[in-house]
């Protein structure tokens, strides 16, 4: 009979999985992973440094961008230790407490990514539809409150699912499907009634994963309505171009998120490799791509990076 463990008698460790079928090639697979993590850390750190050093970037749009960069940096640093130690040193074990801590931070930062993008869509709406009131609506105090609300929202959303999972007995194999701990992966190892967990997870999906994109779509519907009412095609193009970076960031987050959800829902019997690839794309794509998107598509950020690299303090003036 399988050993039953719960929060009072916790299993000593869970077992992480690398890339199924390619265990012998982990050291080579670690090279692209290492490159992606390096791009994410360097890119997001650079954006944060540029925004901090240049006073002209202390505006709502760039403050929200710094929140996005911090979130991406947090998500990257949360998964990096277990992924790289598995690929480099073949370390598969993770303690019960460490696994729950990683689960908390992964899902918190994932929800924060969605919440920050929602806040950025509100910023774009105010900038385009209420330009005369932009400075009075999005003051430094308001932006600080929005940031605090995002943190509270995401932490309070994840904590109950953590406690609900921790109280359940784990009596099946402790083998996880990924090289990090995810709620949907750990819940399948439970051998008890998980209806409360399932209903709470469904509520989270509705409140964050569904509601945030719908509100983003609503904001862009209002933006498009306002843009189409302008007199000049030049003004329309300029307004749309100002939103392009944010639209790309939204797609980079939600397309992989939908792909992971569809895979878990409709491709349960697919190769484990498919699930691993989709999960890695979901967790790595936003932190890697967002700095690239904003560096390429936002002229001011691009100039700020050039200024930082060339150490020419007056290059933005």
Between CA 92 and CA 96, with CA 93 as vertex, the angle to 5 degrees is: 145
Indicate if the pLDDT at residue 4 is higher than 60: no
- Confidence at 2, pLDDT banded by 50, 70, 90: very low
Domain-embedded: residue 6: no
| DSSP secondary structure letter of residue 5 | B
pLDDT value at position 5?
54
d(CA 129, CA 210): 24
d(CA 3, CA 230): 68
pLDDT tens, 260-301?
878 877 777 788 888 899 999 999 999 999 999 999 988 889
Domain CATH number, residue 55: 1.20.1070.10
Domain-embedded: residue 2: no
Rounded to the nearest integer, the mean pLDDT of the chain is 89
Domain-embedded: residue 306: yes
Indicate if the pLDDT at residue 8 is higher than 70: no
Q: Which domain holds residue 136?
A: 13-310
The total number of structural domains that make up the chain: 1
Indicate if the pLDDT at residue 205 is higher than 90: no
Residues 6+ apart with CB under 8 A from 184: 201, 264
Beta-strand pair 13-15/93-95? antiparallel
Domain-embedded: residue 7: no
pLDDT tens, 148-182?
999 999 999 999 999 999 988 888 678 998 999 99
pLDDT value at position 229?
81
Domain-embedded: residue 75: yes
pLDDT above 90 as % of the chain: 66
Q: Which two tokens stand for residue 184?
A: 């949907």
- pTM metric for this prediction: 0.92
Domain-embedded: residue 265: yes
pLDDT above 70 as % of the chain: 93
For 278, the 3-state DSSP assignment is helix
pLDDT value at position 231?
58
Domain-embedded: residue 298: yes
- Rg, Å, the chain Cα set: 21
Domain-embedded: residue 124: yes
* Lowest-confidence pick of 73-82, 218-227, 256-265, 307-316: 307-316
């Amino acid at each position: 009979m399988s050993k039953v463990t719960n929060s009072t008698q916790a299993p000593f460790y869970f077992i992480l999985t690398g890339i199924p079928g390619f265990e012998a090639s982990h050291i080579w697979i670690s090279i692209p992973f290492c490159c992606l993590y390096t791009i994410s850390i360097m890119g997001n750190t650079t954006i944060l440094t540029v925004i901090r050093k240049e006073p002209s970037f202390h505006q709502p749009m760039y403050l929200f961008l710094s929140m996005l960069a911090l979130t991406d940096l947090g998500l990257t640093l949360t998964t990096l230790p277990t992924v790289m130690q598995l690929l480099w040193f073949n370390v598969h074990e993770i303690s019960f407490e460490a696994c729950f801590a990683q689960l908390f931070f992964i899902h918190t930062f994932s929800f924060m990514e969605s919440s920050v993008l929602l806040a950025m869509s509100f910023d774009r709406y105010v900038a385009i539809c209420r330009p005369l009131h932009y400075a009075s609506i999005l003051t430094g105090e308001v932006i600080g409150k929005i940031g605090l609300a995002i943190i509270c929202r995401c932490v309070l959303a994840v904590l109950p699912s953590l406690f609900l999972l921790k109280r359940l007995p784990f009596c099946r194999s402790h083998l996880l499907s990924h090289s990090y701990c995810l709620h949907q992966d750990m819940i399948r190892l439970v051998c008890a009634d998980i209806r409360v967990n399932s209903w709470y997870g469904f509520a989270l999906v509705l409140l964050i994963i569904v509601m945030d994109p719908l509100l983003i779509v609503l904001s862009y519907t209002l933006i498009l309505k306002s843009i189409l009412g302008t007199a000049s095609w030049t003004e329309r193009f300029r307004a749309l171009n100002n939103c392009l970076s944010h639209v790309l960031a939204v797609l980079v987050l939600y397309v992989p998120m939908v792909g992971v959800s569809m895979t878990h829902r409709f491709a349960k019997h697919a190769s484990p490799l498919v699930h691993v690839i989709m999960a890695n794309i979901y967790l790595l794509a936003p932190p890697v791509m967002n700095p690239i998107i904003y560096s390429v598509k936002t002229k001011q950020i691009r100039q700020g990076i050039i200024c930082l690299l060339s150490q020419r303090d007056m290059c933005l003036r």
